[in-house]
A and B are shown apart, each in its own frame.
Chain A
Amino acid sequence: VIRIVTLAEFDEETLALVVKKLHNAYGVGTEVGRKTTMPSEAYDPAADAYDAQKTLTEAEDVRSFGDDKIIFLTDRPLSLPIGPMGPGPIDGFADFGGLKAIATTAGLGKAGSISIADGLAKRATQQVGHLFGLHHCYDQRCSMLPGWADGFAGNPDVMLCPFCREKSEQRIMRA
C-alpha cells in the first residue's frame, strides 16, 4: 500500500488528485494516512530548507504494514547533500528501493508552469517510483523524467512510459 502523509496543509482536491494519480500509475492501493508536522530537527538554517534525509528519519512513522511505501508531502523547500555537480533543483527525495520518500510543492505554481496539484502528483509519483527501484527516464511524458526537464512541466498528465511501468510492475509482483 502507498500511504500518503501530509506535513503541511493541502486541500482535499489536491490530495484526492494525488491519490488517484498514484493509484493509476502503480495499480497499488493508495490512501491518505494522516497529517503530521515537519520535524524541527531537520531544519537547516544555512540552506533555509529542511534536510530531506533527516526529515525522513525524524518524521513520525505511520505505516500499518511492514512493506507500506510512505510518501510525505510538504510545501517547504528541501535540501540534500551537494554532489559533484553542485547544488541543483530538488523536487523531493526517496530512499532508493526503500520505504520512505518525500515530495514538495516548493517551486511549483509559477506562471506558465504546471499547476501545484498536477506538479505535486507528478513529483509524488516519481518519488514513489524511486521506492520501487525506478531510475530517471528520458521519455518526455514519463513521470520519471527529472523534474527540471522541459517535458516535466510540459506534460501535466501523470503516466509512466512502457518500460517504467513494466519495471514497476515486476518490482511490485516480486514484493
Chain B
Amino acid sequence: MEVTGITIGGAPVSVGDRVVYPNGGICKVKGIETKQIAGAAYTMLMLTREEDNATVMVPESKVGSIGLRKVATADAIVVLFQFLSHSSTDPELDWKIRHRENFDLMSAGGLLDTAQVLKGLHALAQIRPLPQKEREMYDSARHQLVGEIAAALNLPPAVAENNIDYALTPPPGSGRTAPKDAPLDMKALRRSAVGKRSTTLGDLGDVEGEGEDIGLEGEDEEKEEEEKEEGAVEGGEEEEEGAPPKAAAKPAPKPKAPKKPKAEDKVVPAPAAAPVKAVVAPVASPPPPKAEEPAPPPKVVAAPPPPPPTKVVEPPPPAKGVAAPAPKAPEPVKAPPAKAAPEKATTKAAPEKAKPAAKAKPAPKPKAASKPAPAKKIKTAPKAKPAAKKGGRS
C-alpha cells in the first residue's frame, strides 16, 4: 500500500518502508493518521522505531525539513566504508568548533554526516579521552551507523559494528595500516554517495547540507594550506640559505613568500593522480587569489579607522578621576565610532556625554570615587571594606 501524498526525496513512501529518523534510528512506516491537536487537524506520518517499538509521529509538512530519509543503499554503504577506512582525518582540536560542527552533522542525520562525526571523534579519542558529552555523541553516532548498515545490508548489528571497526582500527594483517593517505575529497564522496542512492534516497544530498560540504572543503583547504605552509617554510628557509639577497630584500614578506609557492606546489601534484587530485586541483586554484587578497584587506582594515574615533573619546584624560572614568568611556565610545566620520558634528553630542565626566571632575576634588558612582559604587564600596579588614588582619 502506498502512502498517499507523502514523499521522501521525491520517492513515494509506502507502508512498511524503512526510513532513518535523524538521531533516532531506523523506523518502519506504519501509515498515515490525522490527529486533532489544539483544534487543528494534522496529517501525521506514523513510524515505529525498530529498536524499541516506540511510535513516532511526524507531521506531513515536516517530513522534508527534519531530515527524514530512506535507508541507504548498498552502494552508499560502500562509499561510507571508503570514507571510514581512509586514514587522513585530523581531529578538530577546538572544542567549540568541533562541538558545533558535530552537533550540526548529527542533526542533519546524513549517512556520511554521521560517519564524519564518528571518524572525527574516533581520531580525537586516539589523542586524548573524550569528554562525557562527546563520548555520548560518539556512541550515538556509532549506534546510528551500526543500525543503518545492518538495515541496508541485512546484516546482524554485531557484524556491522565489526566492519566499522575493521575500517577504523584495521586488524594487524589487513595491510591497511599506512600512516597517512592523501587528503580525502569529501565533496566527490558525497556526490558519489548521493548519486548511488539517488534511486531510493532522492534528495538526501540536500538534507546532508551543502553548507557542510563547504565546511569540509574549508577544512581540507586549511589543512592543505597548513601542510604546504610547513613545506613552504622549509623551502623558504632553503631559499634563504641559497639566496640570501632575496631574503634580505623581503624580510617581512616571508609569510607571503610561502603562499606563492603553495599555488605552484598544488599545481604540481594535481596531475599526478587522476580523479581525486583532479578534484583537489580546483581547490588549489583559489588560494592564489587568496594570497593576493590578504594584502588589500589590511589596507581596508586600516581604512576604516574606527579606532581613531575611540581615541577622540580620549576625554578619558579628564581621568584625573583615575580609574573610574576610564571604564565608562569605552561603553559610550562603541556607539559613536560607527558614525565617527562626523567627528566635529558629534562633538556637540560629545560634550553632552562628557558632561557627566565633567561632573566627575569636580567630584574627585572632595573624594574622587563616591560621586561618579551613585548607586553602583555603593556595591563596590563594601568590597573595599573587606579589603581594608583584610589589611587590618594582615
Q: Do A135 and B166 touch across chains, with their CB atoms under 8 A apart?
A: no
Residues A146 and B155 in contact in the complex (CB < 8 Å), given A84-B77, A135-B142, A135-B143: no
The interface-forming segment of A35-43, A68-76, A93-101 is A93-101
Q: Are B156 and A88 interface neighbours, CB within 8 A?
A: no
Q: Would you call A96 and B157 a contact (CB within 8 A)?
A: yes
User: In whole angstroms, how far apart are the Cα atoms of A86 and B173 in the complex?
Assistant: 12
A96-133 residues with Cβ-Cβ distance < 8 A to B are 96-97, 130
How far is it, in angstroms, between the C-alpha of A146 and the C-alpha of B153 when the chains are bound?
21
Set of chain B residues within 8 Å of A167, measured between Cβ atoms:
139
**Within the complex, which residue of A80, A86, A88, A163 is in contact with B135, where a contact is CB–CB below 8 Å?**
A163
A23 to B348, CA, bound (A): 81
Contacts of A146 in B (CB 8 A): 162, 165, 169
Closest CB-CB distance, B11 to chain A, in whole Å? 24
With a CB–CB cut-off of 8 A, which chain B residues contact A169?
A: none
Among B129, B136, B156, the residue within 8 A (CB) of A93 is: B156
**Does B42 sit at the interface, judged by CB under 8 A?**
no
Q: Are B160 and A83 in contact (CB under 8 A)?
A: yes
Q: A81-B155, A163-B139 are in contact. Are A135 and B161 (CB under 8 A)?
A: yes
Q: How many A-B residue pairs have CB under 8 A?
A: 76
Q: Chain B residues with Cβ under 8 A from A89's Cβ?
A: 171
Contacts A88-B166, A136-B165, A163-B139 known; A81 to B171 CB distance under 8 Å? no
Residue of A nearest to B141 (CB): A135
A85 to B122, Cβ gap below 8 A? no
The majority secondary structure among interface residues of chain A is loop
Bound-state CA distance A167–B138 (Å) is 13
What's the minimum C-beta distance from A89 to chain B, rounded to whole angstroms? 5
CA distance A53 to B163 in the complex (A): 16
Q: State the main secondary structure of chain B at its contact with A.
A: helix
**A83 engages B125 (CB within 8 Å):** no
A3 to B187, CA, bound (A): 49
| Contact residues, B115-162 vs A (CB, 8 A) | 122, 125-126, 129, 132, 135-136, 138-139, 142-143, 146, 149, 153, 155-162
Instruction: Tell me whether A10 is interfacial, beta carbon within 8 Å.
Output: no
Residue B85 is within 8 A (CB to CB) of chain A in the complex: yes
Contact residues of B between 292 and 334, Cβ < 8 Å to A: none
> When A and B form their complex, which 7 residue pairs have the shortest distance between CB atoms, in order from nearest?
A83-B163, A96-B157, A85-B166, A148-B171, A138-B125, A85-B163, A146-B165
Are B172 and A84 in contact, with the CB atoms below 8 A? no
Contact with A along B83-98 (1 / 0, CB 8 A): 0010000000000000
Give CA–CA (A31, B153) in the complex, Å. 36
B174 at the interface (CB under 8 A from A): yes
User: Is A149 an interface residue, CB under 8 A from the partner?
Assistant: yes
For B176, the closest partner residue in chain A by CB is A85
Interface: B71 (CB within 8 A) = no
Answer whether residue A157 sits at the interface, using C-beta atoms and an 8 A cutoff.
no
Whether A83 contacts B155 in the complex (CB less than 8 A), given A88-B171, A149-B169, comes out as yes
Say yes or no for B387: interface residue by CB 8 A criterion. Answer: no
Residues from chain B with a CB closer than 8 A to the CB of A96 are 146, 156-158, 161
- Determine how close the nearest CB of chain B comes to the CB of A87; give it in whole angstroms: 9
Tell yes or no: B81 within 8 A of A by CB. yes
Q: Which of A94, A135, A149 interacts with B139 by CB under 8 Å? A: A135
Least Cβ–Cβ distance between A31 and chain B, in angstroms:
24
In the assembled complex, B78 has its CB within 8 A of some CB on chain A: yes
Contacts known (A135-B143, A138-B126); A85 close to B167, Cβ less than 8 A: yes
CA distance A63 to B143 in the complex (A): 28
Chain A residues positioned under 8 Å from B122 (CB to CB): 138
Q: Can you list 5 residue pairs at the A/B interface with Cβ under 8 Å? A: A84-B153, A85-B85, A96-B157, A135-B142, A163-B135
Known: A138-B122, A138-B138. 11 other contacts (CB 8 A): A83-B155, A84-B81, A84-B153, A84-B163, A85-B166, A93-B159, A94-B158, A95-B156, A135-B142, A136-B142, A163-B139
Nearest CB in chain A: distance from B73 CB, A: 12
